[in-house]
Amino acid sequence: MNDYLQNKNLRQLLKVLNIPIPVPPILKRNNNPYSDDELQQKKIAVAGKSSDFLHQIQQEIRILAGDATIYDAVIDGLVVSCVGMQTIEDLEDLFTNIKNTVRKIAANGRVVIVSKVDNMNPTTFAVQKSIDGFARALSKEIGGKNGITVNLLKITNEDVQPYEVVKAATFFLSDKSSFITGQVVEVNRDKGQEISSPVRLLHEQVAIVTGGARGIGAAAAKVLHREGARVIIVDVPQAKEDADRLANEIEGEAFLIDITKEDSATQLQQHILKNYGKLDILVNNAGITRDKTIAKMSIDQWRSVLNVNLKALIELTNTFLQDGFSEKAKVVSLSSISGIAGNVGQTNYSLTKAGVIGFTNSIAQNNNKKIYANAVAPGFIETKMTENLPFFVKEGGRRLSTLKQGGLPEDVAELIGFLASPLSDGINGQYIRVCGGSMLGA
């Protein structure tokens, strides 16, 4: 990590000299394996509009987390249910619950708001939709100084059970989601796996991570292994040294191939079928940039980015959709906030990353194996890909966000791990930004 404003001595010096540079909060991260007491050390209060749903999530969260109420002096987490709010007046309950607790939320605290779109009455629809705006605004308002995150879980399927929401909330209340804020995540799929313990959630699962030799891919491979998966790191032959070292460390396998090579998808598919029998998790992470304004961009720069980031990703996923995925396999693909906001000098890259969201959305709905597909859209992450950007571009990427800093590969990896696991069984066809509340495209 090379963000100088995270340097303790420099921060101290700025404080002593009283130099008014807004220093980013130090984020509390937990990159340990999921455990039964993931949330036990946190005092989490559950409030909101009274309903059966509220009472059920209250009961479940009481088992997972340290007990707290909105009347306590300090709380680490707050869950506010807006389920059942139908009128403009109902929204006052949201206002009151947040207003009365907002100053009590500890540094690195978590707010999870839950809403539900359950009928098409225009007023109710407007009321539930309005909560998106509230959550996003609140995330910007309270996160910058002390690393508090605010995210919204929005139920859009009548049959989603409270336990599905609580599983997803476990991640958003934990210190594994420190760099994710201001997100509206649909909980839209029912009949997920009920889990009594989050320990080794990926036990015996077979996972591929493309571009897994370094950066975000390597961090993702480690998280998947940590939770019990057998990981196949796919990367170009030039990355052999890094890929072999990591494979050794995580008792996985390195499979060296350029994913744009014509028969690479079939080669990988045959390798998995022969040696593992099936594929449970596909992380489409390999990606490149060839930045140039369009007037200066060569056709090679255009083609190479489209071929790696989109064409090969589609080809590989489709090959496993034809044969190789287990029932309810999880596909997690790397998009980018460039694909959402667009970025100067990145017409090729932004195009591919928007394409990833489109592909994800489409296969999530149209596949007969009932696989899950979700996309992850990182903002500015401190990796080799971003290391060589000009200083002011890097500074813009870091500071133009609620949390005023770049993320770490581990932040993205934890989101990938969540989306690869049964904790996210309620979530399908979504993209989730891991961007520290970046202003770009928000």
C-alpha closest to that of 377 among 317, 410, 333? 333
Helices vs. strands in the chain: H and E counts, helices first = 15, 13
| Closer residue to ligand NAD (CB): 171 or 380 | 380
DSSP assignment letter at 396: H
Which one among 134, 372, 380, 431 touches ligand NAD, defined by CB under 6 A? 380
Among the options 34, 349, 372, 431, which is catalytic?
349
Which one among 336, 401, 405, 430 touches ligand NAD, defined by CB under 6 A? 336
SS (H, E, C) 198-261: CCCCCCCCEEEEECCCCHHHHHHHHHHHHCCCEEEEEECHHHHHHHHHHHHHCCCEEEECCCCC
Nearest distance in Å: CB 416, ligand NAD: 10
3-state secondary structure at position 157: coil
Pairing of strands 279-284, 431-434: unpaired
Q: Does 384 bind ligand NAD (CB under 6 A)?
A: yes
| Whether the Cβ atoms of residue 288 and residue 304 lie closer than 8 Å to each other | yes
Which one among 3, 258, 315, 395 touches ligand NAD, defined by CB under 6 A? 258
Beta-carbon contacts of 17 under 8 Å, excluding residues fewer than 6 positions away, are none
Structure tokens at 324: 């190789």
Which one among 260, 317, 424, 430 touches ligand NAD, defined by CB under 6 A? 260
* Maximum Cα interatomic distance, the chain, rounded to a whole number of Å: 64
Structure tokens at 190: 């029912």
Measured in degrees and rounded to the nearest 5, phi and psi for residue 266 equal -65, -40
Q: Does 386 bind ligand NAD (CB under 6 A)?
A: yes
C-alpha closest to that of 436 among 180, 91, 237, 198? 180
Beta-carbon contacts of 391 under 8 Å, excluding residues fewer than 6 positions away, are none
**Distance spanning both ends of the chain, measured CA to CA:** 25
| Closer residue to ligand NAD (CB): 86 or 304 | 304
Nearest distance in Å: CB 25, ligand NAD: 20
159, HSE (Cβ side, Cα atoms, 13 Å): 4
Nearest distance in Å: CB 18, ligand NAD: 33
Binding characters for ligand NAD, 308-327, by CB under 6 A (x = yes):
x-------------------
| Closer residue to ligand NAD (CB): 124 or 210 | 210
Q: Does 124 bind ligand NAD (CB under 6 A)?
A: no
Nearest distance in Å: CB 5, ligand NAD: 17
Q: Does 255 bind ligand NAD (CB under 6 A)?
A: no
| Closer residue to ligand NAD (CB): 105 or 337 | 337
Nearest distance in Å: CB 363, ligand NAD: 18
Stretch that binds ligand NAD, among 12-20, 126-134, 165-173, 381-389 (CB under 6 A): 381-389
Nearest distance in Å: CB 183, ligand NAD: 15
Which one among 286, 306, 316, 403 touches ligand NAD, defined by CB under 6 A? 286
Beta-carbon contacts of 296 under 8 Å, excluding residues fewer than 6 positions away, are none
Stretch that binds ligand NAD, among 146-154, 173-181, 279-287, 423-431 (CB under 6 A): 279-287
| Whether the Cβ atoms of residue 176 and residue 139 lie closer than 8 Å to each other | no
| Closer residue to ligand NAD (CB): 190 or 258 | 258
| Whether the Cβ atoms of residue 419 and residue 207 lie closer than 8 Å to each other | no
Q: Does 383 bind ligand NAD (CB under 6 A)?
A: yes
| Whether the Cβ atoms of residue 141 and residue 108 lie closer than 8 Å to each other | no
Q: Does 246 bind ligand NAD (CB under 6 A)?
A: no
| Identity of the amino acid at 397 | G
| Closer residue to ligand NAD (CB): 5 or 256 | 256
Q: Does 259 bind ligand NAD (CB under 6 A)?
A: yes
C-alpha closest to that of 414 among 163, 198, 257? 198
Q: Does 177 bind ligand NAD (CB under 6 A)?
A: no
Q: Does 301 bind ligand NAD (CB under 6 A)?
A: no
Residue 349 among the catalytic residues:
yes
Nearest distance in Å: CB 394, ligand NAD: 10
3-state secondary structure at position 197: coil
Whole-angstrom distance, CA of residue 111 vs CA of residue 107: 12
- Give the count of residues interacting with ligand NAD (CB under 6 A): 27
Nearest distance in Å: CB 203, ligand NAD: 26
Site for ligand NAD in 184-243 (CB under 6 A): 210-211, 213-217, 235-236, 239
Nearest distance in Å: CB 271, ligand NAD: 14
Residues that bind ligand NAD (CB under 6 A): 210-211, 213-217, 235-236, 239, 258-260, 285-288, 308, 334, 336, 378, 380-381, 383-386
Q: What is the set of active-site residues?
A: 349
